Structure 1
Amino acid sequence: MATMTIAPDYGYVLLAATSTFIVNVLHMVNTSAYRKAAKIAYPAAYAPSSRTDAEAYRFNSAQRAHANYIENQVSMLGALFIAGLSYPRVAAGMGLGWSVCRWVYMKGYSEGQEGGKGRYKGIGFYLFQFGLIGMAAWTGVGTVLGW
């Protein structure tokens, strides 16, 4: 059975993970600002489809950006923690890159461009996410094979 030792550099992985929590808070602040501007009362998650004004559209876009963030954060963090066992500095860098791209994605999506096209500004987060997933899988294979 293979054993693993957590490298001292794993602290960078933990810092990269912490950056995702900060980006989540930025999403909350961003969405709240658009909610206030659109005058959408709680507990409504989105503005109703009957609202066709720009403020409601931007709120819905900000809310969708946040939902997409939450949909991806958990699997990214799992991959980050696993990949960081074998590649702590590279994984941490990719985790930080993911967070930066997610912030850009949020800002772009929240602009309210037709069809949500502003989100493409930060779409590079997928490269970091899939890279981390690949590194996590490679870590698993190496552990099973005793590399």
Structure 2
Amino acid sequence: MFTLVVPPAYGWVVLGAGIGPFITNMYLAGAVMKGRKEYNVQYPNCYATPGYHKNADEFNRIQRSHQNFCEGLDQYIVMTVLGGLKYPIACAVGSIFFFLGSILYQKGYSDTSLDVQTARFKKGGAIKYIGIFISLYSTGALAYSMLTA
């Protein structure tokens, strides 16, 4: 039988998985809202239409970087909440990497002077993967300890 004990430092995981996504999403969404105004992309359009919107690529890069964050967020939170039961401090630090990396990803991806393929990592966006791998490893370690108990 395996007994699950919530570690005392788990509150840091709760902050990272509960408050971090809200703050990061608001920051990234703010850039999208600013882009909507600057590039005149009105609702309900999610993306700008090339040929119709003068600066479609510029806006779409901002929107796509926010969408990238939203697409991976649910998996990240689940892994952090679970992995944090085994390694709470590591997962809390990983959350900082993930959220800061997501912001840097947007800054790089939105820079139209850079090639689309490399832009997302040019300004530090790759550090979000440090947070992902910390949570992935921690979740795997938790599963292993539960299966071998």
Structure 1 and Structure 2 fold alike (TM over 0.5): yes
* 1:144 to partner: Cα distance: 1.6
The superposition leaves residues 19-41 of structure 1 with CA deviations (integer Å, 9 ceiling, x where unpaired) of: 12210111111101011111011
Name the CA distance, whole Å, in 2 between partners of 1:66 and 1:48: 17
Q: Is the 8 A contact 1:61 1:116 kept in 2?
A: no
Name the CA distance, whole Å, in 1 between partners of 2:117 and 2:57: 10
Name the CA distance, whole Å, in 1 between partners of 2:98 and 2:136: 12
More helix by share: 1
Name the CA distance, whole Å, in 2 between partners of 1:125 and 1:95: 8
Q: In the alignment, which residue of structure 2 is the partner of 1:107?
A: 107
TM-score (normalised: structure 1): 0.91
Q: In the alignment, which residue of structure 1 is the partner of 2:82?
A: 82
Query: Which of 11-20 and 39-48 deviates more?
Result: 11-20
Name the CA distance, whole Å, in 2 between partners of 1:62 and 1:76: 21
- Where does structure 2 lack aligned partners over 5 or more consecutive residues? none
Alignment partner of 1:2 is 2:2:
yes
Name the CA distance, whole Å, in 1 between partners of 2:128 and 2:76: 10
Name the CA distance, whole Å, in 1 between partners of 2:99 and 2:116: 23
Q: Is the 8 A contact 1:105 1:119 kept in 2?
A: yes
TM-score (normalised: structure 2): 0.90
* 1:6 to partner: Cα distance: 0.7
* 1:52 to partner: Cα distance: 6.9
Q: In the alignment, which residue of structure 1 is the partner of 2:35?
A: 34
Name the CA distance, whole Å, in 2 between partners of 1:137 and 1:118: 31
The superposition leaves residues 39-81 of structure 1 with CA deviations (integer Å, 9 ceiling, x where unpaired) of: 011000111021474x322210011001110111111111100
Q: In the alignment, which residue of structure 1 is the partner of 2:145?
A: 142
Percent of aligned pairs with the same amino acid: 28
Q: Give the total of aligned pairs.
A: 145
The superposition leaves residues 88-125 of structure 1 with CA deviations (integer Å, 9 ceiling, x where unpaired) of: 11110011111111111112212233425321121221
* 1:8 to partner: Cα distance: 1.6
- The alignment partner of 1:137 has SS state of helix
Aligned AA (1:125): K
* 1:137 to partner: Cα distance: 1.1
Q: In the alignment, which residue of structure 1 is the partner of 2:93?
A: 93
Q: In the alignment, which residue of structure 2 is the partner of 1:15?
A: 15
Q: Which runs of 4+ in 1 moved over 6 A?
A: none
